[in-house]
Structure 1
Amino acid sequence: MPNRRPFLAAALLLPGLARAQAPEPWPSRPIRILLAYPPGGSTDVLARALAERLTAAFPGASFVVENRPGGGAVPGTLAAAQAAPDGTTLALGNNQTHAANAAMLRDLPYRPVEDFTPIFRLAEVHHALVVPASSPAKTLAELAARGRAQGLTYASSGVGSASHVIAESFVRREGLKATHVPYRGGAQAVTDTVAGVVDAFVSTWPQVVTLVQDGRLRCLGIGAPARLPELPEIPTFAEAGAPYMAVDAWFGLFGPARLPQAVVEKLAAVLPGLLAAPEMVQRLATLGFTPAPMGPTEFAAFQKAELARWAALVELTGIRIDG
């Protein structure tokens, strides 16, 4: 009679092998959120607020922000694209990392769509065009008329920045004579606009809102879909005749390509509630962010539309950051 003991032993081992090979539940290990920007800025504050609330939402898990700044946000974003798709690495991306860079850089080492899994759009920030309080231009049309007649100077927070591209689209579409004055960041650009060193600056709204409220800057248009309740005298760009300038900065959560659908679904299920929590809404408001929740499918379509929008802006303006 054949010896059945080896077969019996193997059968007894099979359930253990199945358990050993079963995928571990997510999240069961620390999760890093890669951020291609330095600590301390508003994007970093957003990332840390998100990590804190995700840690609370998933008991036993820890979400930690890892800053990878520099290089036009390319190296940090590339690191996220190259990470293992096991749910232990996510990325907080934005309009630069996942749309504009593809149009601005000819040799971008990652693919914004194919190399990532869009999980959830989180928030947005509007851009606004401001002029010195002493400027004779009271409307965007008056500023354009001045630019056509005698020329003007406009600041930006850097060559290839959103402030540069949006302002240059205004210059090109309205046929203005204008000189670009780039700065290293928005702080000095704001200071020189207040002082009248330059004639105009397209800034993120949080950067200038206090100066507009204090009367030190005049806002001629903002990229919001409707007028702001707290400053109803400021027209939207659409109302001012320049709807093409309503290009928001946006922020979203991504994973590497082939991120398990279960991970995407778990995150997408909790994020709407986290963004809607009163303390999170207040935190975002203090930074100038507006919650802009968008689930995975809608976010993926939105990102593709943004890629097309930025490609058109670069074609119109001719602005590139790699020559």
Structure 2
Amino acid sequence: MTLSRRSLFAAPLLATPALAQTAGTLRIIVPAPPGGPTDILARALAEKAGPALGQTVVVDNRAGGGAVIGSEAAARAAPDGLTVVLGHNQSHASNQAMMARLPFHVVDSFSPVCRLATVHHATVVAANHPARDMAGLIARGKNGGRLTYASSQAGSASHVIAETFVRREGLEATHIPYRGAAPAATDTVAGVVDFYVATFPSIAGLVRDGRLRGLAIGAPARLADFPDVPTAAEAGVPFMAVDAWFGLFAPRGTADAALARLSGAMLAALSDPDVARRLVAAGFTAAPQGPADFAAFQRAEVARWAEMAQLTGVKLED
């Protein structure tokens, strides 16, 4: 279909290089508006990494175009170690498969700096929904009943993961896209739609309050604060364990020494106790990786999202 546009925050296992002062201001481009999770992560890191780098670090919000506007600005920036973009699974993986005229290549146009954190997705239904578990939801979608499902936005991870579930299980289901996580969650609580695949932090309070029922979460183990929510593997849908992830990328051609320097400073900031507390409160799980490991991870993610895009037929138009 075509649609319109292990301990938490443990210190990274990387030696932090000596951080000599560098002339110039470091710019972190955030391809999202101020106040969202990507922005929170960027500002927490900027505050701590600046002194270590001996530089002023500023956050430059460039929202729009499904994260394309900010990412393109970073791809076109000089590879001088003074510009990075805080990318994620959409901007630096799924867009490559779903956008026919992407103005850069998510791998070839960038040099990975470091992976920072992940956020789990969960499948939820209204508290009074007849489906008590994933097996019940699947049965309802196979036995003559047409399901409806919400997404936070057409073409988002929320949409693609849910549509992958629908296709793989052979369900009858209709996608209802929303403009953001909040209205999608509100209509799921109200029973307007049958289910919603959401980033867990965005609906955790509703699950805790008993307004939504968690059927599965894409975590490796049940969360201590939500022991009644099974993992995707336990629920029989291991392919739904797809995390949202966040990491820094520099323009292609940035020197290896600059990448190592930036990676060391950012991962050290990530392990700072104050930063850790702020990010845990925002729902992040630390997932530190240096340049080489992050590059390998990104290539695997590009392939995984291409497979899901092919399975679901989800496309985004400029």
TM-score of the pair, normalised by structure 2: 0.92
Partner of 1:194: 189
1:76: Cα distance to partner? Answer: 1.1
Superposition pairs of residues 32-111 of structure 1, within 5 angstroms: 32-59=27-54, 61-111=55-105
The aligned counterpart of 2:277 is: 282
Aligned residues: 298
**After superposition, what is the alpha-carbon deviation per residue over 1:265-313, rounded to whole angstroms, capped at 9, x for unaligned?**
1122233332122211111111101111011100000000000000000
- Residue among 247, 250, 256 paired with 1:252: 247
Task: State whether residues 27 and 87 of structure 1, in contact with CA within 8 Å, keep that contact through their aligned partners in structure 2.
Answer: no
Which residue of 18, 22, 29 maps to 1:27? 22
Say if 1:119 and 1:267, in contact at 8 Å, map to a contact too: yes
- Distance in 2, matches of 1:271 and 1:227, equals 29
Q: Is the 8 A contact 2:216 2:230 kept in 1?
A: yes
Match of 2:291 in 1: 296
Instruction: Calculate percent identity across the aligned residue pairs.
Output: 57
Amino acid at match of 1:180: H
Q: Distance in 2 between matches of 1:296 and 1:63?
A: 20
Instruction: Decide which of 172, 176, 184 is 1:181's aligned counterpart.
Output: 176
Is it true that 1:161 corresponds to 2:156 in the alignment?
yes
Report which of the two structures shows the higher radius of gyration computed on alpha carbons: 1
The one-letter code sitting in structure 2 at the alignment partner of 1:265 is A
Q: CA deviation at 1:253?
A: 0.7
Which consecutive residues of structure 1, in runs of 5 or more, have no partner in the other structure?
1-24
Q: Structure 2 CA distance, aligned partners of 1:184 and 1:272?
A: 33
Counterpart position of 2:235: 240
TM-score, scaled relative to structure 1: 0.90
Secondary structure at the aligned position of 1:71 is classed as coil
Alignment correspondent of 1:125: 119
* Distance in 2, Cα, partners of 1:263 & 1:57: 14
Aligned counterpart, 2:302: 307
Equivalent residue letter for 1:55: G
Give 2:257's aligned residue: 262
Displacement of 1:26 in angstroms is 5.3
* Cα RMSD for the two superposed structures: 1.1
SS of residue matched to 2:51? helix
Distance 1:190 1:198 in 2: 10
Match of 2:110? Answer: 116
Cα deviation, residue 226, structure 1: 1.1
Q: In the alignment, does 2:200 pair up with 1:205? A: yes
Q: Give the Cα separation in 2 of the matches to 1:79 and 1:244.
A: 33
Structure 2 unpaired stretches of 5+:
1-19
Which structure exhibits the higher relative contact order, with contacts defined as CA atoms closer than 8 Å and separated by 6 or more residues?
Answer: 2
Distance (whole Å) between structure 2 residues aligned to residue 281 and residue 75 of structure 1: 29
4+ residue runs of structure 1 moved beyond 6 angstroms? none
